[in-house]
Chains A and B, each alone.
Chain A
Amino acid sequence: MTAIDTYLHAIVVRAVREAREDASATVEAQHLLLGIADEPEATVREVLTSAGLDHRALREALGREFEHSLQTVGVSAAAHRLPRPSPACEQPKLGASAKLAMERGFASVSRKRDLRPAHLLLGVLQAQLGTVPRALALAGVDQAALLAQLRQELETTRDGGVARARGAAG
């Protein structure tokens, strides 16, 4: 198992937990992003922190996006007073937006061994439509600038041995 398999596994496990938290039958790009937000990799940390995006801030932004999208058709999520349902037993499956984010992340490197968690973040941030870009916009985050910063960080650390230091080249 290569280092990225280990990272990827840890991120996906966290994303699945986030999907369950949302009672979602599928793991979507926003769950992947939440999973990435808890990632200790330096590049990921630096880029997300610079935009004030930790796990909690992302959850708040996603909650606001949900409320905001419902409000455009005059609906409030708080309108029903039913108790929170028991969690599903089935493991949430990888949804379309998460698959797309992963494909974009994988496509950003020519060799799999170069792949790092930051490339997954790159894949998530490349989306111009959907829940993640809407949530970031509502949180006042300049997604294009964040993406540019991430690309630059990846470029400067590409040959810096960050991946090798973590044993990814092995």
Chain B
Amino acid sequence: MPGPENSAENPALQEPADALAAVAALRRLADQLEDAAVEQAMRAGWSWPQVAEALGVTRQAVHKKHAKRLIAAGVTLRRRGDDRD
């Protein structure tokens, strides 16, 4: 195995197929991680604006993507103006 420190010398990534497959796998992992992390935050009482700001996306985007799933899962969601900090 070559030295793992320098990715430019990593032969695995010299293959475009490996690099492209890594992109697909990372997207899938990021989606899974986002679903899990947003759910964990909302269960812990975070608000939509907080989650959105932490993710670096708009509140509308995060709400649209996750609200239905979390409501169906029975997660108690904070309403706007419900300050518990």
Interface residues of A (CB under 8 A from B): 22-25, 65-66, 69-70, 72-75, 77, 80, 82-90, 129-131, 134
Contact = CB atoms under 8 A, between A and B. Distances in A.
A85 to B, nearest CB: 4
B18 interface: yes
Interface of B: 4, 7, 10, 12-13, 17-19, 21-22, 24-26, 28-29, 31-33, 35-40, 68-70, 72-73, 75
B32 to A, nearest CB: 6
Chain A interface secondary structure, helix, strand, loop or mixed? loop
A86 B21 contact: no
Contacts, number: 79
Most A C-beta atoms less than 10 A away, residue of B32, B37, B40, B73: B32
7 contacts: A22-B28, A69-B25, A72-B19, A73-B19, A85-B36, A86-B39, A86-B75
A59 B38 CA distance: 27
B73 A86 contact: yes
Contacts of A72: 10, 12-13, 18-19, 21-22
A85 B29 contact: no
B25 to A, nearest CB: 4
